[in-house]
Amino acid sequence: MGIGTMVEFFRDPSNRWGFIDATFMFALLGAELYAFLVMTLGYFQTIWSLRINIEVPVIVKLADGRTVEVGTIDMSASERVEPGAE
């Protein structure tokens, strides 16, 4: 169902439609437009890579149990690895 189909339906005098028919038709049209908008925005979100630089501390655990921060690594958000992930 598209906008053209709805216009034809409402313009044709032989169709008998009421308030409930129009309400459901506009609700379905709104749902289709919302789905199109969400999919379009999702498409642009995936093709536009996230370029946020994050400084990740490099921490070394010594044999005696102490931890020492050796330095930092600059990473983009797409390269980020959660702690414990391998």
Sorted by where each begins, the domain ranges of the chain are 3-47, 50-86
Query: Which of 17-21, 31-35, 48-52, 57-61 is modeled with the greatest confidence?
Result: 31-35
| 68: phi then psi, degrees, rounded to nearest 5 | -130, 130
What whole-number distance in Å separates Cα of residue 45 and Cα of residue 53? 18
Question: What was the pLDDT predicted at 82?
Answer: 63
% of residues, the chain, pLDDT over 90: 21
Question: What was the pLDDT predicted at 36?
Answer: 95
Q: Which two tokens stand for residue 25?
A: 């038709």
